[in-house]
Structures are given as structure tokens and as C-alpha cells.
Amino acid sequence: MTKYILLSISVMLFSITAYSQTNLLSSSNGADRKNGEWQAIGDAKIEEFGNTKRFVVRNGGSFVQQIKFPEESTGKYLLLIGSGSSERVFSNNNTTDHAYLFGFIWDDQHITNYLQGQSLLWDSKQPNEWMCLSGIFQIPEKSVRFSVHAGQAAKKGTAQKGAPARFDNLGAFIFDDQASAELYAEKYCSQLQ
């Protein structure tokens, strides 16, 4: 009986600490908030969709934000997360114009790591279906800052046609271990449904 009580207490304590993580992105993780430190590049605007303002990109446009790592981040885990949707779908595996959340880790002057892959690319076959996009990355030594990009995927040989990709609820969080980041991502995504 004691084991079960202790397990319950530790799970409850983990829930309290893990789900109160601070979002490292500017206060505008949702497009319905002040646009803050997001930089719009190319065809990138905030538009209303579904009675809510969203980050919307077309024709290879993107929203970008650069963030300095907090002290003592080396070896910890960075979670990039948010929701995305796209209007354009294909019957094959083409991803042109699909919502794509990605980023880079920088040292003082250079890109040292690419934050891509995992579940950062929208891959539904239903137009405008919202999906959770996420990826977890270990922070290497000498990392100074990272950038987050909300943009569109492009496949060589397929022209972009102005179809929108949309983003909302964007976040970047740091965790001591990968398991905590995974649990947080699962909870975050379940709240977006």
C-alpha cells in the first residue's frame, strides 16, 4: 500500500512541476496575442481562420523567432511544439506547402544543429485538419541560442501554389530529461485536440 501512495505522490508532484514549464518563445505563442518578437519573412501574416487569429504562411513565407538559451542548458532537452494545418494535400507523399515547424541551434557564430524531422511536419490527408507538431532535441555544449521557424515544406520539382499553412499554440520548452519532455508533449498535444 505504501508503494502505491508514494507513486501517486511522485506522479502528482511531477505533474505540477512539468506542466508549469515556461514557454521560451515571446508572449505571443498564439497569433491572437500581440505579435511580439516574431519576425515575418516573405508571405507571412496573421489572419483569422475558424474565428481565431492564426500565423499563416504562403509561397515559402515563414515566421521566425530567435531565443537565447538560459544558463546551464547544456545536456538538457529542448521541445519545439505547436499546432499546424495545411490546405494543400497530395495523394502521394509530396509535402509541398505543408505546415513545417523547424529550427536551428547556434553557437556564437554558426549553426551547430538542425531541429527537424520527428513530428514537426504536418502529414494529414485531410485539408485544414489541425495536428500537433513536435520534436525533442538534446542541447549540445557551447549552444548560445536557437531559432524557431514556422514555415512550409517544399519538394523539389513541385511549385508552391499559394496554399496556406497555419500555426497556433507554438512553444519551446527545456527539460532536464527526454522522458519529461515526451510526457509534457503528450499532455500539450492532448489539450490541443
Q: What is the pLDDT of residue 157?
A: 85
Residue 4: all three cell numbers together: 502505491
Residue 1, pLDDT above cutoff 50 = no
Tens digits of residue pLDDT in 152-172: 998 888 888 889 999 999 999
Sorted by where each begins, the domain ranges of the chain are: 23-192
As a whole number of angstroms, the distance between CA 16 and CA 183 comes to: 12
Q: Yes or no: say if 172 and 148 are a contact pair by the CB < 8 Å rule.
A: yes
Architecture of domain 23-192: Sandwich (2.60)
As a whole number of angstroms, the distance between CA 153 and CA 160 comes to: 9
Tens digits of residue pLDDT in 115-131: 998 899 998 889 999 99
